[in-house]
Amino acid sequence: MRDIDLEDLLLKKDKRAIAKAITMAENGDEKVYEIIKNLYNKAGKAYVIGITGPPGVGKSTLTNEIAKFLLKDNYSVGILAVDPTSFFSGGAILGDRVRMSDIALNKNVYMRSMGTRGKLGGLAKATRAAIHILDIVGMNYIIVETSGVGQSEIDIVKTSDTNVMVLSPGMGDDIQAIKSGIMEIGDIFVVNKSDREGADKTAAEINFMLDLNDKSDWRPPVLEVSALYGKGCSTLLSKIMEHRYYLEKTGGLEERRLKNLRWEVLEILMDNFMKALNEKISQESIKELINAEYAGLTNPYMIAEGIYKNLKGGFK
């Protein structure tokens, strides 16, 4: 399939073309970024919802319920489930697809599971490309469900418009972890599995910490939800819409997207810089340079500083 044909098919929302484009991104095929550049004027209309939180809190079930409500309102929905290991090799994706089987075949849904390709817990470059692709093809909403491990909670802020932090009852250690910075990530907090004992206590702990950390006009709501039984999911969607309205009304959406753009541009620059650096300096050339100019020197900072000064002119 030629790139020009792929571009045409993407604009027609062809699901096989979407799958091919995302696969190209996963495989590191640089051609997909040319396609995204060519079609980027079609992007910017999708609203991105991030779903994050520790493993086992029911993020996939919650994502399924949110998607169902959006579909009922005739919105199109793209779903990206991000995991540190590739879902296509088996494992967790099977569970996700069982939980989402009632929406998977809907013509207005596109679902994709993505591994982070070695970037443990983080959102891979390919995932960002997938978000752009789903935006370009005209998805109204894109839900990004992260692995909930380490860096993903930080990265989700750099891609989403509204961030939903999901916890479950009896997570004392995880609640404590939130104090060290993750609390600032959530625009909405969900205590899922609220049918279990301790949901009220967990919600109260989160509310207490939010009261201590309240520095903005938007006070994140804390919702008790049971996604498995559908309890509280419509309220969650209402709060997501309320947060969207708040951002649009205050100019926060444009500000957030500009900040996300800055992060992405910096990451692209860093990626390109590293490629250029690797092309310019091979392992052998570094060895020769060290032997020629820094013989006997073992201080890595001094060696790196010297090499950087020599290379600096080449990147102007």
Could you report the per-residue pLDDT of 238-256, keeping only the tens digit for each? Answer: 999 999 999 999 999 999 9
Q: In the structure, what pLDDT confidence band is assigned to residue 90 with cuts at 50, 70 and 90?
A: very low
Q: Which token pair is 182?
A: 């993750």
Please tell me which of 37-46, 93-102, 214-223 the model is most confident about, judged by mean pLDDT: 37-46
Contact by Cβ (8 Å): 315, 273: yes
Please name the residue that has the structure tokens 């569970």.
Answer: 95
What is the residue extent of each domain of the chain? 3-260, 267-313
On the question of pLDDT at 188 being above 80, the answer is yes
Q: Which pLDDT score is estimated for 209?
A: 84
Using DSSP's 3-state secondary structure scheme, residue 228 falls into helix
Q: Which of 86, 81, 97, 93 is nearest to 49 (CA)?
A: 81
> How far is residue 259's CA from residue 242's CA, in Å, rounded to a whole number?
21
The 10s digit of each residue's pLDDT in 56-66 is 888 999 999 99
Q: In the structure, what pLDDT confidence band is assigned to residue 87 with cuts at 50, 70 and 90?
A: very low
Burial class (CB in 10 A: 0-12, 13-18, 19+), 100: buried
Using DSSP's 3-state secondary structure scheme, residue 87 falls into helix
CATH class of the 3-260 domain in this structure: alpha beta
CA-based torsion, 6, 103, 246, 121: positive or negative: negative
Using DSSP's 3-state secondary structure scheme, residue 29 falls into coil
Burial class (CB in 10 A: 0-12, 13-18, 19+), 86: middle
Q: Where are the beta strands (DSSP E) in the chain?
A: 47-52, 77-83, 109-115, 141-145, 162-167, 188-191, 222-224
Q: In the structure, what pLDDT confidence band is assigned to residue 307 with cuts at 50, 70 and 90?
A: confident
Q: Which pLDDT score is estimated for 1?
A: 60
> How far is residue 122's CA from residue 10's CA, in Å, rounded to a whole number?
27
Using DSSP's 3-state secondary structure scheme, residue 82 falls into strand
On the question of pLDDT at 68 being above 90, the answer is yes
The mean pLDDT of the chain is: 83
Predicted TM-score (pTM) of this structure:
0.86
Q: In the structure, what pLDDT confidence band is assigned to residue 11 with cuts at 50, 70 and 90?
A: very high
- The continuous run of DSSP H or E covering 99 comes out as helix 92-99
Helix ranges (DSSP H) in 105-198: 125-136, 151-155, 172-179
Average pLDDT over residues 124-144: 93
On the question of pLDDT at 178 being above 90, the answer is no
The 10s digit of each residue's pLDDT in 111-132 is 998 865 544 434 568 889 999 9
Average pLDDT over residues 189-208: 90
Counting residues of the chain whose pLDDT is more than 70, the rounded percentage is 76
Q: Which token pair is 94?
A: 């099977």
Q: Which pLDDT score is estimated for 179?
A: 55
Q: In the structure, what pLDDT confidence band is assigned to residue 54 with cuts at 50, 70 and 90?
A: confident
Q: Which pLDDT score is estimated for 132?
A: 97
On the question of pLDDT at 27 being above 70, the answer is yes
Least confident of 56-65, 129-138, 145-154: 145-154
